[in-house]
Structure formats: structure tokens, C-alpha cells
């Protein structure tokens, strides 16, 4: 099999974790006899520095031409002046939009050996296995923004079509899992959430009557995620709620550095990225946890390249390395050795063989 992958290292720890993920992809490709062609392009602060734009046209072309895109992270203090007209995050939002990747899949998987890295008690984490489906190309992140000297506004807008398609994606995935879907909204306050709830109830009743549907307000969902996380199977929610709830859910897994994501549209091409940001506090130190990025390439192998065995091999290698005690600084317990990004990557690759 041959495939073209566009790499967008981005800023901060982005280049470190994408380099790790590429090494793992190369090792899997070699083991299974596939040929992967890489193209590297600029995004975020690195692109602003080089070209003045957070998403140059040549980057868009490289991403559109690829079978899959692997992104590190964008942003950092250098480009964080709120008065700046051009910001790294604009590049990421525009990329998601131009690629039409409206369905962001964020699995939250718990490694039993990392229970100690979570602030929650081990018995609460027992059996946690959830998949959060975040709507990625609509809502308040994409609505019109205004700013005057004395006020500001962000428009939150959803169409029936946008809600229908994301609910269908989530419901199909629930069918393949434990058959439970939880839709999270704020329908007691927001009109967009009342639309979200009406459309969700209709699509689920008409098309997925076999799926057990639960509806939660986002404030309650934030609490239930910590009090009864193992009850959740698939969660579907709008762009901003999904962004916030998955950072919260990352604490179940022990670190933001553990969680991967896949963003898909109607075709098989997708955008893959760890859910964390550019982590300026540890950038350049060589200690970032590469697991989120490596688990993201497992999702890439599965969802864009159709290579299920290879995806499983990567996930099993990560699990084996962690079970054997491999830990970066963010997931160490007392007495553990703190591995660098490179050493953690090497330990995972060694478990592939
Ligand atoms: P962050 O995710 O970068 O970091 C939050 C905390 O988690 C930090 O203490 C960091 O050291 C730690 N952390 C994150 N990833 C880690 C990893 N792989 N290994 C070990 N520790 C890790 O969030 P932030 O500090 O709020 O944001 C920093 C910058 O990243 C901002 O400019 C923000 O806009 C940007 N950001 C980008 C994305 C993205 O590119 N998708 C997402 C979120 C934030």
C-alpha cells in the first residue's frame, strides 16, 4: 500500500511529537511492507514567522492532496497578543474548515497502570472507555466576531444539517460499541442547543431507535464525567463544549499528553492530532509525552488508510511499553524513571517488533 501523508509540525512541542509519530509510522510501514510518502508544510506561528499567514495556500494544497494529515499543535506566547490581527489558531480553524472535517473523534482510553497519574480514585476509573464526538466546523468558534472599545460578541450558529450529520456519525459509532449515546447541550439557555436537542431526538428516534439516548446539560455533564465516567459510551456535543469536556476527560487518562484525535468529513481523508496544545512551558526540553500523537497515527492507520491490523499493532505497542513501565514526566509515579520524548518513542517502537 502507498499513501501520502502531510506533516504539519506547528509550534512548541508540536515538532517533537510529530517526529515521534512519524518514526512509529515508519516502523509500522516497514514491518508491514507499506510505502509512505511525506510532505512537510507550515502552519500556525511557524507559518506566520515565515510567510505572514497562519495557513499558507501551499499548506492547504498539500493537505488537500494527502490521504491524511498529521498535525502537532499551534500557538505560543510569541503570537499571543490579543490585539494581533493574525493568530496561529486561525490557521488551525481554517484548515479544519477547508478540509471539511466536521467530526472530531476523541477516544478516552485508560491504561490501568496509569491510574495513579490521574487525580481521580482508581475505582472511579475502572471500566472507563468513552468516545467523544465533537462537532468541529460550526458553532461559536466559526461565527462572526465583533469588538468595540466597550463590548465584544461571538455568534454561535448551527444549522439542522450540521447537527444531523454529526449525530449520525456518533450514532453509527455507538452502534459499533456499547449502543449508548449521550448528547450534551445547554438547551435550558441557548437557542442553538434547543435546535441541537430537537434534531438529535428526531434523528435518534427515526434512524437509531435501538441506541439508548441520554441527554445532559453541559454543566451537569462536566460533573458526571468525573463522578461516573465509566457509564459513558459515546458522547456527542457541539464544538466548544467538546473542546472543554475533552480536556477535562484527559485527566481520567492521567495527562493531556495521552489523548489522540481524528477529524473526518464525508470521505476517508482525515486530520489527525493529539488533543493537547503547543505546551510552551515544556517546549524545547525534549520531555513532551508523544503518546497522544502516536495514538493519533493509530487512528490514521485505521480510519484513513484502512489498515486495522497496523492500527492495533501501534495501540498494543503503546500499551505494552506503558505496562513495562515506560513513562514521560507527565505520567510518572514516585520512583519511575522519566523518559525523554525520544526514549519513550524508542520504547514504543521496540514493542512493535
Ligand atoms: P497545552 O495543551 O499546550 O498545555 C497544557 C498543560 O499540559 C501544560 O502544562 C503542558 O505542559 C501540558 N502538556 C500538554 N501536552 C503535553 C504533552 N504532550 N506532554 C506533557 N505535557 C503536556 O495548553 P495551553 O498551555 O493552554 O496552551 C498553549 C498554547 O497551545 C496556546 O497558544 C494555545 O492556544 C495552544 N493550543 C493549541 C491547540 C492545538 O494546536 N490543537 C490546542 C490547545 C491549545
The pLDDT tens digits of the residues spanning 214-223 come to: 999 999 999 9
Give the pLDDT mean for 123-134: 96
Contact residues of ligand 1, CB 6 A cut-off: 13, 17, 73-76, 80, 89, 92, 255-257, 273, 276-282, 288-289, 292, 330
* Ligand 1: centre distance to CA 271 (Å): 18
C-alpha pair distances (Å), 229 with each of 33, 107, 196: 40, 13, 23
Position 237 pLDDT exceeds 80: yes
338-351 mean pLDDT: 98
Kindly report the CA angle at 281 between 278 and 287, in degrees rounded to 5?
80
Burial of 35 (0-12, 13-18, 19+ CB in 10 A): exposed
* Spacing, Cα 282 to ligand 1 middle (Å): 9
| Sequence-separated (6 or more) residues with CB below 8 Å from residue 284 | none
State the pLDDT at residue 44. Answer: 98
Q: Across the strands, what pairs with 131? A: 107, 234
Nearest residue to 71 (alpha-carbon basis) of 250, 262, 254, 257: 262
pTM, full prediction = 0.96
Distance CA 178, CA 233 (A): 6
State which of 245, 279, 329 you would mutate to test the pocket of ligand 1, scoring each by most atoms of that ligand within 8 A of its C-beta: 279
pLDDT single digits (tens) 155-178? 999 999 999 999 999 999 999 999
Mutate which of 276, 282, 340 for ligand 1? The one with the most ligand atoms within 8 Å of its CB, which is: 276
Active-site residue flag, 247: yes
**230 within 8 A of 128, measured Cβ to Cβ:** yes
Distance between CA atoms of residues 348 and 111, nearest Å? 14
Which numbered atom of ligand 1 lies nearest the CA of 292?
18
Shortest-distance Cα residue to atom 42 of ligand 1: 277
Give the pLDDT band of residue 179 (cuts 50, 70, 90): very high
- What's the pLDDT tens digit per position in 248-303? 998 999 999 999 999 999 999 999 999 999 999 999 999 999 999 999 999 999 99
- Residue 353 scores a pLDDT above 80: no
Ligand 1 atom nearest 279 alpha carbon: 3
DSSP per residue over 11-55, as a string? STTHHHHHHHHHHHHHHHHHHHT-EEEEEE---HHHHHHHHSSSS
Residue 108: burial class (beta carbons within 10 Å; 0-12, 13-18, 19+): buried
Residue 32 and residue 36: Cα distance in Å, rounded?
11
Sheet with 35-40: list strands edge to edge: 35-40, 2-10, 68-73, 270-272, 262-264, 103-109, 129-135, 234-237, 180-185, 212-217
Q: Which of 247, 336, 342, 343 is catalytic?
A: 247
> Per-residue pLDDT averaged across 181-206, rounded?
98
| Residue 141 known to be catalytic | yes
Nearest CA to ligand 1 atom 37: 277
CB-CB neighbours of 237 under 10 Å: 28
Question: In the chain, what percentage of residues exceed pLDDT 90?
Answer: 95
Domains of the chain: 1-109+258-353 (3.40.718.10), 119-253 (3.40.718.10)
How far apart are alpha carbons 321 and 188 in whole angstroms?
Answer: 46
Judge contact between 70 and 269, C-beta under 8 A: no
Give 83's pLDDT tier (boundaries 50, 70, 90): confident
Q: How far is the CA of 279 from the centre of ligand 1 (A)?
A: 4
pLDDT in tens, 309-344: 999 999 999 999 999 999 999 999 888 899 999 999
Q: What is the rounded CA–CA span in Å between residue 321 and residue 143?
A: 43
Amino acid at each position: 500500500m502507498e499513501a501520502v501523508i502531510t506533516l504539519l509540525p506547528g509550534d512548541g512541542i508540536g515538532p517533537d511529537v510529530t517526529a515521534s509519530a512519524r518514526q512509529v509510522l515508519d516502523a509500522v510501514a516497514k514491518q508491514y511492507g507499506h510505502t509512505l510518502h511525506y510532505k512537510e508544510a507550515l502552519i500556525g506561528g511557524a507559518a506566520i514567522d515565515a510567510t505572514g499567514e497562519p495557513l499558507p495556500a501551499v499548506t492547504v494544497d498539500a493537505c488537500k492532496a494527502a490521504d491524511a494529515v498529521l498535525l502537532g499543535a499551534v500557538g505560543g506566547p510569541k503570537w499571543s497578543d490579543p490585539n494581533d490581527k493574525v493568530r496561529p489558531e486561525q490557521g488551525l480553524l481554517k484548515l479544519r474548515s477547508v478540509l471539511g472535517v466536521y467530526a472530531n473523534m476523541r477516544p478516552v482510553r485508560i491504561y490501568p497502570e496509569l491510574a495513579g497519574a490521574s487525580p481521580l480514585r482508581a475505582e472511579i476509573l475502572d471500566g472507563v472507555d468513552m468516545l467523544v464526538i465533537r462537532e468541529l466546523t460550526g458553532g461559536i468558534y466559526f461565527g462572526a466576531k465583533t469588538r468595540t472599545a466597550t463590548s465584544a460578541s461571538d455568534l454561535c450558529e448551527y444549522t439542522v444539517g450540521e447537527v444531523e450529520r454529526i449525530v449520525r456519525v456518533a450514532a453509527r459509532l455507538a452502534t459499533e460499541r456499547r449502543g449508548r449515546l449521550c448528547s450534551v447541550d445547554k438547551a435550558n439557555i441557548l437557542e442553538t442547543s434547543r435546535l441541537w436537542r430537537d434534531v438529535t431526538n428526531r434523528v435518534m428516534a427515526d434512524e437509531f431507535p435501538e441506541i439508548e439516548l441520554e441527554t445532559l446539560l453541559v454543566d451537569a455533564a462536566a460533573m458526571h464525567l468525573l463522578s461516573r465516567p465509566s457509564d459513558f459510551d459515546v458522547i456527542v456535543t457541539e464544538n466548544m463544549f467538546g473542546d472543554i469536556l475533552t480536556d477535562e476527560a484527559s485527566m481520567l487518562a492521567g495527562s493531556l499528553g495521552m489523548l489522540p484525535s481524528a477529524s473526518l468529513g464525508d470521505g476517508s481523508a482525515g486530520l489527525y492530532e493529539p488533543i493537547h496544545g503547543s505546551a510552551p512551558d515544556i517546549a524545547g526540553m525534549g520531555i513532551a509525552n508523544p503518546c497522544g500523537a502516536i495514538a493519533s497515527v493509530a487512528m490514521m492507520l485505521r480510519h484513513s488508510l484502512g489498515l486495522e491490523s497496523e492500527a492495533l499493532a501501534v495501540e498494543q505497542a503503546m500499551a505494552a511499553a506503558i505496562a513495562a513501565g515506560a513513562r514521560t514526566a507527565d505520567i510518572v509515579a514516585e520512583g519511575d524513571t522519566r523518559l525523554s520524548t525520544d526514549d519513550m518513542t524508542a520504547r514504543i517502537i521496540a514493542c512493535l517488533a
